[in-house]
A and B are shown apart, each in its own frame.
Chain A
Amino acid sequence: MKMRVKLFGTLRQRFPDYRHQQGMEVEIPDGATAKDLLSLLRISESNGAVVATEGRILKSDDRIQGRAHVNVLQAMHGG
């Protein structure tokens, strides 16, 4: 299925064609998890990247199927 992904922090720098207003469309396999999405985008979890949708930060193994839109964020302390 296809989903729209928006990148925050410095993550967008890794994708030269990325346009934030539109975000990027990503094709994910059935049953994909937050971890799978990051892996597909070649973003390492060890850099503090997390996936958020519908007001929640997803755990690595949470499925993202059925979500039309997610934000990929970088963990930080604040602020």
Chain B
Amino acid sequence: MKIIRVNMNKKTIRTEDVPQDYAGLGGRGLTSIMINAEVPPKCDPLGPENKLIFAPGSLSGTSLPNTSRISIGAKSPLTGTIKESNAGGTVAAALGRLGITAVIIEGQAPEGDFSFLRIDEKGDASLIPAQEYKGIQTYPLVEKILESYGKRTSVLCIGPAGESRLTAASIQSSDLDGRPCRAAGRGGLGAVMGAKGLKALIVDQRGKNADPIADPQAFKEAVKAITEIIKTNPMNAEVMPKVGTAGLVAPVNSMGAFPSYNARKGVLDGWEEISGERLAEIIQERGGNPTHTGCSQCIIHCSNVFVDKEGKYVTSALEYETIWSMGGMTGIADLDTIARLDNLCDNIGVDTMSTGVAVAVSMDAGYKEFGDSAAAIEMVEEIGKGSEFGKILGNGPAAVGKHFNHQRVPVVKGQSIAAYDPRGMLGNGVTFATSPMGADHTAGNVVGKYLEQKLDPLNPEGQVETSRELQITNAAADCTGLCFMAYEGLNTPEARKALLKAINAKSGTQPMLEDFLELGIRVLKAEREFNRKAGFTNEDDRLPRFFYEEPLPPHNTVFTISDEKLDSIFDF
């Protein structure tokens, strides 16, 4: 239970015990509560007062499956709000095994000065000059890092976009194969890392100093029960390993809520060509891997490895949100193009969602035609080259809208929506509007409730309440390191009991289910408090006008949740 504080201008490293105020926290809970306490809300997100915090979940590094999410937090340069973006891969488990609760990057290196922060197998941290790696893309960077430090090394890093402080820049996370293909994409945290002068965080995976488990026997029993529940859950045991998150392309198009052609339609022409089922078929035919394990401790295997017609690696993993942004929004119903765009984004270090939507906004403004694959690839390559237009694109859809003086920009608080149109899935619109993170599907995604027929996506009744419930439970789950799929698989009373048993056995405390939900509320309160102090008001919790005015085919409906209802969501 230790925190490593790194000052980038003084090049000092201090290790301290976790202060009482942060005791028991992990993941998003730790990053958000710490930022609210330590970062001046009105500070420049790319200045020395901002802090970049890496925090594994409270259960990361244990034997509990699917607990390998790393939360990364800061004040966002994209939204101006507090931000937590989490990623899979291997680093959360590596930090957990070293007993490291958080790594906090403070201050700012002189302009153009870059370092690695390396944590060795004993948990000792050191700053290493990394000038020679300046400008390098993430795949060759990680290859060189693994050559130097060995294969059992986890990496979080930025590409050229982060170095250039572009506000859609991501932080890429290495997977079990040592590829930087997982991403903390949202909120432009790669730009914060670049502004700090940190090119990569490098963590040895061989640590053996994990925090002790208070009740090992009870923990073992909980792990056994949870493993069994995940393995028998139909979504996690059957659908995810076969089609991955891309399995959502069919249901969301079938519901007319797949934002297409920059959210002009709710169904993409030719969507079956980019469906999860087609993706699995293509990968299988070409000898790729449709059932890939990307993250430490994973027993779901939702990842995939996409290869070209010659069987050569293109990207991993092709996910639903990327397929939507690069395919649906741009009108490009071609998986080869989408896979190429995904790899370009990972290598340059930009969020695939913001980038796809930025390309779509430029197409909508008349810069290029929807469906033009070559144009989309050229545009994204511009980001890597650092051209003037590339910089605009790399700053996300709002910057592109401003450049073309184009009003149809699907963002909230500067961040693009995700793959669910607010007019076809009202509850997702509520989450996009009100999440303290800006438009963010991971904050409270209602799509599962619609598919389970617990809620009608077009009826305003119950949408705010459902979004609230999900935003609270997701905020709590984001503290544990559990991936979203595993957490969703644990949504029965029996499963929740097993999860609580694991948390209690790990920490030696006795929180009840209400306390777990209370944690979610505590996190949301801290995030909202930070945003208020940063100058955000209820007026910022709104969708762009066109969602209220422009009917979406095929249902030809608009977003109908009133401002008053939206403002009531966090009455707690």
Contact = CB atoms under 8 A, between A and B. Distances in A.
Contacts of A74: 234-235, 238-239, 247
B445 A12 contact: no
Interface in A17-71: 20, 47-48, 50, 52, 54-57, 59, 71
Nearest to B272: A20
Given A47-B234, A55-B254, A79 B248 contact: yes
B284 to A, nearest CB: 12
Contacts of B247: 8-9, 74, 76
B346 interface: no
A79 B275 CA distance: 13
A56 B451 CA distance: 10
A8 B246 CA distance: 11
B509 to A, nearest CB: 29
Contacts of B450: 57
B488 A77 contact: yes
B254 A76 contact: no
B254 A78 contact: no
Contact of A59 (B321, B447, B453): B453
Interface in B201-240: 234-235, 238-240
A75 interface: yes
A48 B235 contact: yes
A71 to B, nearest CB: 5
Interface in B506-558: 554-555
A73 to B, nearest CB: 5
B320 A78 contact: yes
Nearest to A76: B235
Contacts of A47: 234, 238
A76 B242 contact: no
B441 interface: yes
B250 A8 contact: yes
A56 B245 CA distance: 21
B242 A9 contact: yes
A48 B248 contact: no
Nearest to A21: B272
B250 A73 contact: yes
A56 B447 contact: no
Contacts of A71: 250, 254
Contacts of B555: 55
B175 interface: no
B250 A78 contact: no
Nearest to A55: B256
Interface string B273-294: 0011100000000000000000
B238, B242, B251, B272, most chain A CB atoms within 10 A:
B251
A55 B234 contact: no
B183 to A, nearest CB: 15
B242 A73 contact: no
Given A20-B277, A52-B254, A56-B255, A76 B451 contact: yes
A73 B235 CA distance: 12
B472 to A, nearest CB: 16
A78 B320 CA distance: 8
B389 interface: no
B377 interface: no
Contacts of B321: 79
Contacts of B570: none
Contacts of A73: 250-251, 254, 451
B500 to A, nearest CB: 20
B277 A48 contact: no
A22 B245 CA distance: 24
B447 A77 contact: yes
Nearest to A74: B239
Contacts of A54: 554
Nearest to B257: A55
Contacts of A9: 238-239, 242-243, 247, 250, 276-277
A57 B554 CA distance: 14
B380 to A, nearest CB: 22
B445 A79 contact: yes
Contacts of A10: 238-239, 242-243
Contact of B419 (A12, A20, A52, A79): A79
B452 interface: yes
A55 B320 contact: no
B448 interface: yes
B266 interface: yes
B273 to A, nearest CB: 11
B277 A75 contact: no
A47 B235 CA distance: 8
A71 B319 CA distance: 22
Contacts of B248: 76, 78-79
B233 to A, nearest CB: 10
A77 B239 contact: no
The 3 closest A-B pairs by CB, nearest first: A77-B448, A55-B256, A75-B451
9 contacts: A10-B239, A10-B243, A50-B453, A52-B255, A57-B251, A71-B250, A75-B448, A77-B235, A79-B320
Given A8-B275, A50-B453, A78-B447, 9 more contacts: A9-B239, A9-B247, A10-B239, A48-B452, A57-B450, A71-B254, A78-B448, A79-B248, A79-B321
Interface of A: 8-10, 12, 20, 47-48, 50, 52, 54-57, 59, 71, 73-79
